[in-house]
Amino acid sequence: MLAKSRAYLGFTVSFLMFAGASFAQISAVEGDVKGTDGQPVKGAEILIERKDMKGTYKGAKTDKKGHYIYNGLPLGTYKVSVLIGGEAKDFMDGVRTRLGDPVDVSFDLRKTGAQPQAGAGGPAAPEQERGLTKEQKEQREKQKAAQEQAIAKNKALNDAFNAGKEAMLAKNYDAAADAFKKAAEIDATQHVIWASLGEAYVNQANAKTGADQQAALDQGLQAYAKSIELKPDDPGYHNNYALALAKSKKFPEAQAELQKAAQIDPTNAAKYYYNLGAVLVNTGQNDAAGEAFKKAIDTDPTYADAQFQYATVLSGKLATAADGKVTAPPGMQEALEKYLALRPDGQYAEAAKAMLQMIGATIQTNYENPNAPKKKAPPKK
């Protein structure tokens, strides 16, 4: 019996990867621009700058009704500015786009006192050009060239990044790594690119063996480390870096990263503690793994898989008396019963029932999930 119970420690503990940058999906912004007189402003230019990854989008101008719309934006966070005569007159920061209807970003210049000018958003009028000195014209040309260069760079960056995300969806990890590497060469300050590159390399390693596998893992670790250097407060990066470290058998470092993730993001701490427990189980540190799984269920008692894994670790402490009776350690039976209440048809349901039977516990014929929606009472007759 005891030998049978210890066999449950062989269950695979699945890790939880946290999503990095989402695949670029199409969204839009639109709005109206009113001048200081409350009337629509025609020809105002709309500048859209991406915040979660560098990118600049131009070309939208208000029509005679003062309305504009810009379609084809990747789903993300943006700063939207209105330019008149080439100068920014107002802006809205932290605009989060969505799938479906465009996000309304309108401007009322009566609030800022910015006066619209003739020919807003377009090139300087001929009379204005005539009024410029040679130095001013040269400066204008330099600014125009720099702006065009920046737009071209941002387009190349977004093209490479989106190509990488498409390759990831197709599970073509070699192509994904190449695309993200190209994006990182264009702009090495984008944490989301490095995190995506790390994910690509780690997935690439799964299809390799020996020295080739370790080389891909090492590249993934370097990329994840760079993403954390650029954005140290992202718990998902610490989590995924930890799992890559665990694959490289760098277990103390992996544990430290998961602890950081739990500290940064207490709301999801249960998931990070679960991963910590998995790392510890895989290194044979069952007592420490039990503590990690216990932290996970203390943080979130409805975390069914953590309940089962906690019971599984405790099964290593079963005691068998001379008469063959098996005594479970404190907490094991409760954790198994909680798992079955939460996931009566879960992947570990049969194993949980077998473990309860082994320790002589009464097995209910019907477990009900306490978090399931309540059934409506029948109408009174």
Where, residue-wise, is CATH 2.60.40.10 in the chain? 26-122
pLDDT confidence of residue 34? 93
pLDDT confidence of residue 10? 43
pLDDT confidence of residue 297? 95
Of all residues in the chain, the percent with pLDDT exceeding 70 is 82
Q: Report, as an integer, the average pLDDT of 120-133.
A: 54
Q: What is the CATH number of domain 26-122?
A: 2.60.40.10
More confident: 125 or 336: 336
Express each pLDDT in 74-115 by its tens digit: 778 899 999 988 888 899 998 988 867 789 999 998 876 554
Determine contact, residues 167/175, Cβ cutoff 8 Å. Answer: yes
Does the pLDDT value for residue 381 go beyond 80?
no
Pairing of strands 107-108, 26-34: parallel
Q: Report, as an integer, the average pLDDT of 60-83.
A: 88
pLDDT confidence of residue 20? 45
User: Which 3 state secondary structure label does DSSP give 82?
Assistant: strand
User: Which 3 state secondary structure label does DSSP give 353?
Assistant: helix
pLDDT confidence of residue 27? 78
Rg, the chain, Cα only: 29
Q: Give the C-alpha separation, 281 to 289, whole Å.
A: 6
Of 163, 230, 206, the residue nearest 23 (C-alpha): 163
Q: What is the CATH number of domain 149-231?
A: 1.25.40.10
Alpha helices, H only, 187-209: 191-206
Does the pLDDT value for residue 23 go beyond 80?
no
Where, residue-wise, is CATH 1.25.40.10 in the chain? 149-231
pLDDT confidence of residue 18? 56
Q: Give the C-alpha separation, 315 to 289, whole Å.
A: 12
Does the pLDDT value for residue 196 go beyond 60?
yes
pLDDT confidence of residue 122? 43
Q: Mean pLDDT check: name the lowest of 14-18, 148-152, 276-280.
A: 14-18
How many CA atoms within 13 Å lie on the side-chain side of 44?
Answer: 35
